[in-house]
């Protein structure tokens, strides 16, 4: 596992003073990722989204690394092109000894939805790059519209709670499983509230020769409707309730890397009750919907346990 004392020796490569909201998880994702990279030279590519618009407002930048802002939908394609150019320059002898790593960031909208094609292509082609999806479960930057990462029952501006529907009607897409199906060498899920698990996974990914993908649950205190100071605890509760299983898949082999604190699986209501996007689910008239969501979470958790070879 990552060593905090050793990590503290590395220089910060994302500066303070950016414009991300208090309690936003995107800055923590970038900071933890770059700290995990240590002193290794990195090139960062970011899709349009909260992370990009808040850290690279011209003529200012928060990045102390080479940084490329791509369009909303093509962060993976852009990063793969840069990696291919780097390999060509090395082959020509124009870059000799320096080993550079390539990291692409995208939110769930730019990853699960409009960026899925470029992500799939980059993974299939085998570029040596790490793609990090900072997953806040909606299009937060453009008005909290639902995405395919938005969980069933969550209220969003395009799936609002009312007389017709009680939040999003469909379950979230399992993008992590889709990435595993690409047969890439390293795929993982984590949260920024469990920094040791996440940083360790970033280090593994950057040391893997080939395409890698990490899906990291990242709170948006505005879209989720939670207190800024509770952001990290929210994603820890997602682990405790098994709403967000934390595991890795190395060369097709599944391994559970974190279980609920205290060994006790909590009901989904422990995650829901702190967030306004789920408050309607706790009303008596939505008991049936809540029960169906709990059943879905239980089934997915049992499936992951089985894949990890655990009872």
pLDDT, one tens digit per residue, over 151-198 is 999 999 999 999 999 999 999 999 999 999 999 999 999 999 999 999
CATH number, domain containing residue 179: 3.40.50.970
Number of domains comprising the chain: 1
Q: Is the peptide bond before 59 cis (omega within 30 degrees of 0)?
A: yes
Asked whether the predicted pLDDT for residue 210 surpasses 90, the reply is: yes
Is 2 part of a structural domain of the chain? no
Asked whether the predicted pLDDT for residue 97 surpasses 80, the reply is: no
Structure tokens at 274: 């702190």
pLDDT one-digit tens code per residue, 41-89 = 999 999 999 999 999 988 999 999 999 999 999 999 999 999 999 999 9
SS3 track for 64-120 = CCCEEECCCCCHHHHHHHHHHHHHHHHHCCCCCCCCCEEEEEEECHHHHHCCHHHHH
Predicted local confidence at residue 217, as pLDDT: 98
Structure tokens at 169: 């009607």
**DSSP bridge pairs for 187:** 213, 249
Predicted local confidence at residue 98, as pLDDT: 81
Predicted local confidence at residue 84, as pLDDT: 98
Q: Is the peptide bond before 295 cis (omega within 30 degrees of 0)?
A: no
Is 4 part of a structural domain of the chain? no
Q: What does the buried/exposed string (b/e) look like for 146-155 if buried means 16 or more CB atoms within 10 Å of the residue's CB?
A: bbbbbbbbbb
Q: How many residues does the chain have?
A: 311
Is 3 part of a structural domain of the chain? no
Give strand ranges (E) for the chain: 42-46, 67-69, 101-107, 130-135, 186-191, 212-217, 246-250, 253-258
Contacts of 85 (CB under 8 A, 6+ apart): none
Structure tokens at 263: 């060994």
How crowded is residue 2: how many other Cβ atoms within 10 Å of its Cβ? 17
Is 230 part of a structural domain of the chain? yes
pLDDT band for position 96 (cuts 50, 70, 90)? confident
Among candidate residues 137, 130, 131, the one with its CA nearest the CA of residue 154: 137
Asked whether the predicted pLDDT for residue 240 surpasses 90, the reply is: yes
Asked whether the predicted pLDDT for residue 14 surpasses 80, the reply is: yes
As a whole number of angstroms, the distance between CA 285 and CA 136 comes to: 27
Is 186 part of a structural domain of the chain? yes
Is 5 part of a structural domain of the chain? no
As a whole number of angstroms, the distance between CA 290 and CA 13 comes to: 43
Average pLDDT over residues 273-301: 98
What's the CA angle centered on 174, arms 81 and 131, to 5 degrees? 25
Predicted local confidence at residue 9, as pLDDT: 81
Predicted local confidence at residue 8, as pLDDT: 80
Instruction: Give the domain range for residue 68.
Output: 10-307
Structure tokens at 166: 């009680």
Is 143 part of a structural domain of the chain? yes
Average pLDDT over residues 213-227: 97
Predicted local confidence at residue 10, as pLDDT: 83
pLDDT band for position 16 (cuts 50, 70, 90)? confident
Predicted local confidence at residue 5, as pLDDT: 79
Does residue 306 sit in helix, strand or coil? helix
Is 154 part of a structural domain of the chain? yes
Whole-model pTM? 0.97
Lowest mean pLDDT among 95-104, 260-269, 271-280: 95-104
Predicted local confidence at residue 17, as pLDDT: 86
């Amino acid at each position: 596992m990552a060593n905090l004392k050793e990590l503290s020796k590395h220089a910060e490569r994302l500066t303070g003073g950016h414009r991300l909201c208090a309690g936003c998880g995107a800055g923590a994702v970038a900071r933890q990722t770059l700290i995990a990279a240590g002193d290794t030279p990195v090139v960062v590519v970011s899709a349009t989204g909260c992370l990009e618009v808040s850290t690279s407002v011209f003529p200012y930048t928060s990045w102390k690394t080479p940084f490329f802002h791509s369009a909303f939908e093509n962060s993976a394609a852009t990063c793969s092109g840069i990696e291919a150019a780097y390999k060509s320059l090395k082959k020509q002898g124009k870059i000799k000894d320096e080993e550079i790593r390539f990291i692409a960031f995208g939110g769930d909208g730019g990853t699960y939805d409009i960026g899925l094609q470029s992500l799939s292509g980059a993974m299939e082609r085998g570029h040596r790059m790490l793609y990090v999806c900072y997953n806040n479960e909606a299009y937060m930057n453009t008005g909290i519209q639902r995405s395919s990462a938005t969980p069933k029952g969550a209220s969003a501006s395009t799936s609002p709670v009312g007389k017709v529907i009680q939040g999003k009607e469909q379950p979230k897409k399992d993008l992590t499983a889709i990435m595993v199906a690409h047969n890439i060498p390293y795929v993982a899920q984590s949260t920024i509230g469990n920094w040791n698990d996440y940083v360790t996974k970033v280090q593994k990914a950057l040391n893997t020769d080939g395409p890698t993908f990490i899906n990291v649950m990242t709170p948006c205190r505005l879209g989720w409707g939670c207190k800024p100071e509770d952001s990290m605890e929210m994603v820890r509760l997602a682990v405790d309730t098994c709403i967000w299983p934390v595991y890795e898949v190395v060369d097709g082999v599944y391994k559970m890397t974190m279980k609920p604190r205290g060994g006790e699986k909590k009901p989904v209501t422990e995650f829901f009750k702190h967030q306004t996007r789920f408050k309607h689910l706790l009303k008596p008239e939505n008991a049936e919907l809540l029960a169906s969501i709990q059943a879905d979470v239980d089934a997915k958790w049992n499936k992951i346990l089985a894949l990890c070879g655990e009872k």
